[in-house]
């Protein structure tokens, strides 16, 4: 017996507790950064869902800076990471970084049609009493190489986040890279 | 504001002979689609996925999992299926496993398609996978199965769509 469902048969809308805030699609000339600014404080959490590829010849880490009004470039970011690279699982930590590293070797090189994928959640982003923690589930598979990771990053600031920048460690994001920001209501 | 995160379709396994679940004619109106599984199996392996009825060796998976004693990683290349949920152990024989499979930018026709998944079987493993389908076609059909074994009566599969601005 085969269970077969025609998509849309049971489609129905749900309440707007998960809302699209902004989306950026990278054009043919590429983009060095992806910026989300003037993010409203009306949600409980933020989620970024993205695919990306870099314009260079190697794989690029995916970095993030956040801020309130302007991006924090100080050494206020901390990271712990758990990742698997196909043979073993490993863990890393960074302290006092000037960015949050939300994925390692994430954006494949410009040749080919393979893109890294990531879901980032920024929890209680508008709270002014807490440091901000964001976690990411990220991965890239290239049929013989790649990695999958669970990363946690801390921004040591109690400021509400209204600005987010994503950028590759070098070079730019390539065409068809796509970044979508969502708000999750409490 | 219109709904952004919408249920598209759901199926609940009935009886003891359902060996696969297929979502077909999937609308291209979303940015990402997500399959959420909750259930178990009669004597199966993990959950595999094929897209658009492609049975060629165009799939690969990189996995990281913990079994309660060790954490490790594995890679599978040139498969005719992808490991979309779980790799280390069989599905439980109770309705206790869950998997969340995000199929990112599924409807574009320019990129290969990559799937991120998380899976938990509290009696055996917790796993996260990234899988690649080396094809730029828009995804319109998803088939989930566990080799030729049956899913447990009451197992559920729900397909959601996420829209972007």
Closest CA to B1 of A22, A12, A48, A18: A18
Query: Could you report the per-residue pLDDT of A43-97, keeping only the tens digit for each?
Result: 999 999 999 999 988 888 999 999 999 999 999 999 999 999 999 999 999 999 9
Scanning every residue of chain A, which has its alpha carbon at the shortest distance from the alpha carbon of B62? A86
C-beta atoms surrounding B3 within 10 Å: 18
Size of interface A-B (CB pairs under 8 A): 209
Q: Is A25 helix (H, G, I), strand (E, B) or coil?
A: strand
Q: Are B60 and A119 an interchain contact pair (Cβ–Cβ within 8 Å)? A: no
Would you give the distance in Å from CA B112 to the centre of its chain? 17
Count of alpha carbons within 13 Å of B97, Cβ hemisphere only?
Answer: 31
Work out the burial of residue A142: count CB atoms within 10 Å of its CB; fewer than 13 is exposed, 13-18 middle, 19 or more buried: buried
Closest CA to B114 of B157, B64, B51, B54: B51
Three-state SS sequence of chain B: CCCCEEEEEEEECCCCCCCEEEEECCCCCCCEEEEEEEECECCCCCEEEEECCCCCCCEEEEEEEECCCCEEEEEEEEECCEEEECCCCCCCCCCCEEEEEEECCCCCCCCCEEEEEEEEECCCEEEEEEEEECCCCCCCCEEEEECECCECCCCEEEEEEECCC
pLDDT of residue A98 exceeding 70, the answer is yes
Stated pTM of the model:
0.93
Q: Are B62 and A146 an interchain contact pair (Cβ–Cβ within 8 Å)? A: yes
Percent pLDDT > 90 in chain B is 78
CA–CA dist A13, A16 (Å, integer):
9
Tell me which chain B residues have a C-beta less than 8 angstroms from the C-beta of A49.
31-32, 102, 104, 162, 164
User: Which one is predicted more confidently, B165 or B8?
Assistant: B8
Closest CA to B49 of B137, B153, B145, B147: B145
pLDDT given at position B44:
64
Q: Are A114 and B114 an interchain contact pair (Cβ–Cβ within 8 Å)? A: yes
Query: Could you report the per-residue pLDDT of B29-72, keeping only the tens digit for each?
Result: 999 999 999 999 987 678 999 999 999 999 999 999 999 898 99
C-beta atoms surrounding A158 within 10 Å: 12
């Amino acid at each position: 017996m085969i269970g077969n469902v025609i998509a849309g048969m049971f489609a129905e809308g749900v309440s707007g507790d998960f809302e699209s805030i902004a989306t950026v699609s990278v054009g043919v000339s590429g983009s060095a950064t992806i910026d989300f600014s003037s993010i409203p404080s009306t949600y409980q959490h933020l989620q970024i869902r993205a695919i990306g590829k870099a314009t260079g010849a190697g794989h690029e880490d995916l970095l993030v800076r956040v801020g309130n009004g302007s991006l924090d470039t100080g050494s206020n970011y901390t990271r712990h990471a758990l990742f698997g690279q196909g043979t073993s699982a490993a863990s890393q930590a960074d302290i006092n970084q000037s960015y949050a590293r939300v994925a390692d070797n994430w954006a494949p090189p410009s040749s080919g049609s393979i893109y890294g994928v990531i879901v980032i959640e920024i929890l209680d982003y508008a709270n002014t009493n807490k440091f901000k923690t964001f976690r990411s589930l990220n991965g890239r598979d290239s049929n013989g190489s790649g990695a999958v990771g669970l990363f946690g990053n801390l921004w040591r600031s109690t400021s509400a986040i209204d600005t987010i920048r994503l950028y590759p460690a070098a070079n730019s994001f390539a065409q068809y890279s796509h970044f979508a920001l969502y708000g999750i209501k409490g | 504001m219109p709904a952004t995160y919408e249920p598209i379709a759901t199926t609940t396994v009935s009886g003891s002979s359902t060996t696969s679940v297929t979502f077909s004619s999937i609308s291209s109106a979303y940015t990402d689609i997500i399959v959420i599984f909750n259930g178990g199996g009669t004597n199966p392996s993990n959950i595999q996925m094929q897209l658009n009825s492609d049975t060629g060796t165009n799939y690969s998976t990189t996995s990281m999992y913990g079994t309660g004693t060790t954490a490790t990683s594995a890679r599978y290349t040139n498969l005719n299926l992808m490991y979309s949920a779980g790799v280390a152990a069989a599905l439980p024989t109770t309705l206790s496993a869950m998997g969340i499979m995000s199929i990112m930018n599924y409807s574009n026709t320019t990129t290969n398609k990559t799937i991120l998944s998380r899976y938990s079987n509290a009696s055996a493993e917790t796993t996260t996978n990234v899988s690649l389908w080396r094809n730029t076609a828009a995804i319109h059909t998803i088939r989930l199965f566990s080799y030729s074994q049956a899913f447990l009566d009451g197992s559920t599969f729900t397909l959601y769509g996420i829209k972007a601005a």
